[in-house]
Amino acid sequence: MARIILGITGGIAAYKACEVIRLLVSLGHDVLPVPTRGAERFVQAETFAALARNPVPALDAAGLYPHLQRADLVVVALLTAHTMARIAHGLADDVLTETVLAHDGPLLVAPAMNTRMWEHPATRANLALLHERGVEIVGPASGELAEGEVGVGRMAEPGEIVGRIDVLLGQSRTLEGLDVVVTAGGTREPIDSIRFIGNRSSGRMGLALADEAHKRGARVTLLAANVSASFPPGVEVVSTPTAADLEREALRRAGADVILMAAAVGDYRAAAPVDGKRAKDGDAWQVELTPTTDVVRALGERRTATQILVAFGAEHGAAGLERKRGMLTEKNVDLVVYNDVGRDDIGFDSVDNEVTLVTADGEAHVPLAPKPAIAAAVLDEVERLLEQRR
């Protein structure tokens, strides 16, 4: 049982917070609801208090201010654009924002708002601040919004929010005992001793996947190709700067239960890199490129009946998506995570991503979200596929 402070802010989805409270209480958690004044325009505090079987805090009996109550986890569901901005900037002008600022443990938020509010640069910047500080973000989903518009902005469903809470509380070790290999970053293929051919991959997507798999109880090995961001705790890291390094280390681990190929592996390397540094003599420099091994294909050829192999593909537009569909059979992979790099706000080197999950069962679109939220969606899909194999 955990003590959970549940913040609720002012949007239509406040009624869904009632279901979140009900589910948490049924799982035996001690839930303290903290609605904002805005939330109480939609649902009365008494409703939250009755469902939680806990009073909505004023000063408590021991004389402690409610915002100084300790909790294992603070959740804000729903989170409005307004309170997201307040939290991002450290404001503390009501009990909920005071509570968030005084809390030194994990924070999970479930944003819900109109699509235009969600896509506004101010909201994107605030979300990036929360993300940088390690705040866990669940949703929003796309679909019909309360005002009748269709788009991204619906609060994640209560069951999904409670699932994320379980993961954060370490109660959902759904990948316990499994070996998971994740590749991250971009390989660099030397053309002389100091120059290379590389790509713009930052490694953030792979890091988020490794972190999420570790939180779900897996033994995680991260094959890191020139990743500059910090590594998640509890994950074994093997440096694989070139495509050849990554190929060798990945094939050594070809028997892992789950392999997530998030790294951008160079398709070509210099046939004959120059020894030492090539002088700057003003002459043209012809570099012959030769293809590297297709590591995903090599792993696909070795894939076992129970293993899940996931490939990531960055391409342009609908034609790219069609090619990714083909990879399922051509390269014998279970799941292709496709992102359209035709857009400049997602994918390579960005905080957010938006992907399509392609499997033999069909396709699922994961709307624009920080990479940790995308990682959670990818691993949910991996778990679904593992379940099918059992």
Ligand X SMILES: Cc1cc2nc3c(=O)[nH]c(=O)nc-3n(C[C@H](O)[C@H](O)[C@H](O)COP(=O)(O)O)c2cc1C
Q: Are 182 and 220 in contact (CB under 8 A)?
A: yes
Calculate Rg over the CA atoms of the chain.
Answer: 23
Q: Is 226 in the site for ligand X (CB under 6 A)?
A: no
CB of 115 to ligand X, least distance (A): 11
Q: Is 36 in the site for ligand X (CB under 6 A)?
A: yes
Q: Are 9 and 76 in contact (CB under 8 A)?
A: yes
Of all residues in the shown chain, the one whose CB is closest to ligand X is: 38
Q: Structure tokens of 236?
A: 């074994």
Please list every residue from 85 through 114 that binds ligand X, using CB under 6 A: 112-113
| Separation of first and last alpha carbons in the chain | 30
CB of 147 to ligand X, least distance (A): 8
Q: Is 374 exposed, middle or buried (0-12, 13-18, 19+ CB in 10 A)?
A: buried
Q: Is 9 in the site for ligand X (CB under 6 A)?
A: yes
Residue 16, C-beta contacts closer than 8 angstroms, at least 6 positions apart:
77, 78, 155, 157, 158
- Among 2, 5, 10, 214, which residue sits at the site for ligand X (rule: CB under 6 A)? 10
CB of 149 to ligand X, least distance (A): 11
Q: Are 141 and 107 in contact (CB under 8 A)?
A: no
Report the residue number, 147 or 288, with the smaller CB distance to ligand X.
Answer: 147
CA–CA separation, 294 vs 331, rounded Å?
9
Report the residue number, 13 or 184, with the smaller CB distance to ligand X.
Answer: 13
Active-site residue among 114, 126, 199, 332?
Answer: 199
Q: Are 54 and 31 in contact (CB under 8 A)?
A: yes
Report the residue number, 113 or 205, with the smaller CB distance to ligand X.
Answer: 113
Say which amino acid occupies 191. I
> Quick one: which segment of 6-14, 172-180, 214-222, 314-322 binds ligand X (CB under 6 A)?
6-14
CA–CA separation, 249 vs 239, rounded Å?
9
Q: Is 38 in the site for ligand X (CB under 6 A)?
A: yes
Report the residue number, 15 or 285, with the smaller CB distance to ligand X.
Answer: 15
Q: Is 11 in the site for ligand X (CB under 6 A)?
A: yes
Q: Is 384 in the site for ligand X (CB under 6 A)?
A: no
Q: Are 96 and 23 in contact (CB under 8 A)?
A: no
Q: Is 82 in the site for ligand X (CB under 6 A)?
A: yes
Determine the size of the site formed for ligand X (CB under 6 A).
15
Cα–Cα–Cα angle for 356, 337, 259, rounded to 5 degrees = 155
Helix (H, G, I), strand (E, B) or coil at 67: helix
> Quick one: which segment of 8-16, 26-34, 259-267, 315-323 binds ligand X (CB under 6 A)?
8-16
> Quick one: which segment of 32-40, 59-67, 217-225, 371-379 binds ligand X (CB under 6 A)?
32-40
Report the residue number, 14 or 346, with the smaller CB distance to ligand X.
Answer: 14
> Quick one: which segment of 36-44, 127-135, 238-246, 262-270 binds ligand X (CB under 6 A)?
36-44
Residue 292, C-beta contacts closer than 8 angstroms, at least 6 positions apart:
189, 243, 244, 247, 265, 266, 267, 268, 269
Catalytic residue check, 199: yes
Q: Is 80 in the site for ligand X (CB under 6 A)?
A: yes
CB of 101 to ligand X, least distance (A): 14
Cα–Cα–Cα angle for 98, 96, 99, rounded to 5 degrees = 45
Q: Structure tokens of 226?
A: 């020139």
- Among 52, 72, 77, 83, which residue sits at the site for ligand X (rule: CB under 6 A)? 83
Interface with ligand X (CB under 6 A): 9-13, 36, 38-39, 80-83, 112-113, 117
Enumerate the active-site residues.
199
